[in-house]
């Protein structure tokens, strides 16, 4: 069966420090991968999605970047964190490439920037 | 811009009460509609989805949702809630693209 892992589960970082959040998927090949941010009272906002290795689409201009170095690995990064980067970050995957496909979410990483 | 509205931010019910959570969207044309749920300590997971056909969709755990095209709505319902339904519920919509637009979520608390 397929599983999705995210780490770390929680992270507290000072303003201006770098960030690296990792997401890996097991049990499937060539998934579509997504990074979302959930801020209080704002629902889930799609940040990046990827349909294959090295292919990244950015949805929102921001202080973050994403990379997909391997088929089932998706990394969210920042060179210098801002206070506004605090939030709950969710990784998700889907297969099929269609709009009707179910997305499967990871456990999330809660990031607090101080 | 396309949007999804969930007007109920926090709902508190007693067990056995009926539930209806509102979801409205601003897309025109054909849409795909989803309800996701996040139980405490668990991953966000799919509750039900609608693409076409019968506008009354049955999901897991006794939930259902009705698509009313004229009202741009996809409300979630359950006739009798249980304490285990305590969770956060998200409505999501997309068109012919993978990009899902989520609502802000509704936190449901059910007291025994």
Could you tell me the residue ranges of all domains in chain B? Answer: 4-111
Cβ of B104 and A105 within 8 Å?
no
The class of domain B4-111 in CATH terms is: mainly beta
pLDDT at A39: 81
Split into its structural domains, chain A has a count of 1
Percentage with pLDDT > 70 across chain A: 98
CATH code for position A82: 2.60.40.10
Look-up of token digits 């929102």: A60
Q: What's chain A's average pLDDT?
A: 92
B98 pLDDT exceeds 70?
A: no
> Average of pLDDT values for B47-76?
95
Residues 21 through 40 of chain B touching chain A, CB cutoff 8 Å: 32, 34, 36
State how far the Cα of A62 lies from the Cα of B60, in Å rounded to an integer. Answer: 37
Which domain range does residue A57 map to? Answer: 3-113
């Amino acid at each position: 069966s397929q599983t999705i892992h995210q780490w770390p589960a929680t992270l507290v970082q000072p303003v201006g420090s770098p960030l690296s959040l990792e997401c890996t998927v097991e049990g499937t090949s060539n998934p579509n991968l997504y990074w979302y941010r959930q801020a209080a009272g704002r629902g889930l906002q799609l940040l990046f999605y990827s349909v294959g290795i090295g292919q990244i689409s950015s949805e929102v201009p921001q202080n973050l970047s994403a990379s997909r170095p391997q088929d089932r690995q998706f990394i969210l990064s920042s060179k210098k964190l801002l206070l506004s980067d605090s939030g709950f970050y969710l990784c998700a995957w889907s297969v099929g490439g269609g709009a009707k496909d179910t997305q499967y979410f990871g456990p999330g990483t809660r990031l607090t920037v101080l | 811009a396309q949007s999804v509205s969930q007007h109920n931010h926090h709902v508190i019910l007693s067990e056995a009460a009926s539930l209806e959570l509102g979801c409205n969207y601003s897309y025109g044309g054909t849409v795909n509609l989803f309800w996701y749920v996040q139980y405490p300590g668990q991953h966000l997971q799919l509750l039900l989805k609608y693409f076409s056909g019968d506008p009354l969709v049955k999901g897991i755990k006794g939930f259902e949702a009705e698509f009313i095209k004229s009202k741009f709505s996809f409300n979630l319902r359950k006739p009798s809630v249980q304490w285990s339904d305590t969770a956060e519920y998200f409505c999501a919509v997309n068109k012919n693209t993978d990009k899902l637009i989520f609502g802000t979520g509704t936190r449901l608390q059910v007291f025994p």
